[in-house]
Each structure stands twice: as structure tokens, then as C-alpha cells.
Amino acid sequence: MKLNLGCGANRLSGYVNVDKHGAPDVRHDLEVVPWPWDDNSVEEAVFHHVLEHLGQTPEAFIGVMKELYRVCAPGALVRIVVPHPRHDDFLGDPTHVRVVTPDVLNLFSKRLNLEWRRTGAANSPLALYHGVDFDLVELQEVLERKYLEDYESGRLTKVELEQIISERNNVVREFRMTLKVIK
């Protein structure tokens, strides 16, 4: 089974389209657990501009991640698209309650949690605390057109672009990330 979670009006063919509003295939609030799917029954899940709307409290967000892990089969892929937290697309929407970055998602990786423990890092080992395990296997930063054109034309080097990203808003529009479920 494939889930399009928080689909809104953006239904995907071949997926079970899920939302708490509108007319999805399944009407469900993703912050309410348990979700109506069996353990290990999902081979792919999509959150397209959804995760930033979930989990205003840490407990609620961690609950979503734990439930996602429960329903996903070993090796399942979780495709996530979220606005960059330093872009007006994130900042201008009062329904955005959660920053979701690669660093946030890496907190749910047992491999990284164990490495951090070994090296004495201060990162929160959420995968170990909550019995989940996701590896970030794909990351794309979608740049605003001006910065993309300057980078592709050679007017900006990779180092210069990274510096600009660290200093300015509205450089990266969104993150596109894929998690792999490790069981």
C-alpha cells in the first residue's frame, strides 16, 4: 500500500489519499493515533507540504513519527517535501507549526544516534528513545531561481552558495527528502 498523507486536494493515483478535511479516500487526523493501517503494511508514504503542519508539541510530532514507523514495512520509503524554515513560504503561513529539516529527521536514525553516543555529541537520540529507525537516503535543496541560475552558470561557487544559504532568507525554497525505514 502507498499513502499520500495530508493530501488536501492533491490526490495521487495509486495511493490511498488521506486527510482530515475534504473528500480523501480515508478521512483521518494524522495527529490521532493509532492510524487505521496495520503494522508493516505501507511500502511508500508521501508527505507533500504536510509535516510542517503537524506536531505543534514535541509529543505530537514524535507520535506521528512513531506511528509512521509502525505502519511502514521494512525498506519502505517516506518522501517528504517541506518549505525551508528561512523562506517566506514557511514564515508566512500561520498553520506551519514545526520546522522540518534534514537535521531534525536525522534525530530518528539509530545509526546516527549510536554514532553520536559514541562520540559524546549532544544530539537528542530520538530513534533510541522511541524505538524507530529512519535513514535519510536522499536530500535535495530546491533553490530560488536567481541562486540556481547563478550557481549553474558558475557565477557562484558551491562554497559561496553555502555561505549565502547560511546568511540569508529566501535562498532555499524547500527541502525534498527521502527516508528509508530500517527494521
148 found inside a domain: no
Q: In the chain, how many domains are there?
A: 1
Q: Would you state the pLDDT for residue 164?
A: 98
Beta strands in the chain (DSSP E): 2-5, 16-19, 26-27, 42-48, 72-83, 134-143, 172-181
Range of the domain at 136: 2-143+174-181
Q: What is the pLDDT of residues 170-182, one digit of tens each?
A: 999 999 999 999 9
155 found inside a domain: no
Q: Would you state the pLDDT for residue 101?
A: 98
Whole-Å CA distances, 44 to 11, 76, 78: 15, 5, 6
162 found inside a domain: no
158 found inside a domain: no
C-alpha cell at 83: 518549505
CATH value at residue 41: 3.40.50.150
* Beta bridge pairs of residue 46: 4, 79
Q: Would you state the pLDDT for residue 99?
A: 98
31 found inside a domain: yes
154 found inside a domain: no
Q: Would you state the pLDDT for residue 15?
A: 98
161 found inside a domain: no
106 phi and psi angles, rounded to 5 deg: -65, -20
Provide the whole-model pTM: 0.96
Percent above pLDDT 90 for the chain: 100
Whole-Å CA distances, 142 to 33, 109, 147, 159, 161: 32, 23, 10, 17, 13
Tell the residue number behind the cell numbers 504536510, with chain if given: 50
92 found inside a domain: yes
Q: What is the pLDDT of residues 14-24, one digit of tens each?
A: 999 999 999 99
d(CA 143, CA 58): 29
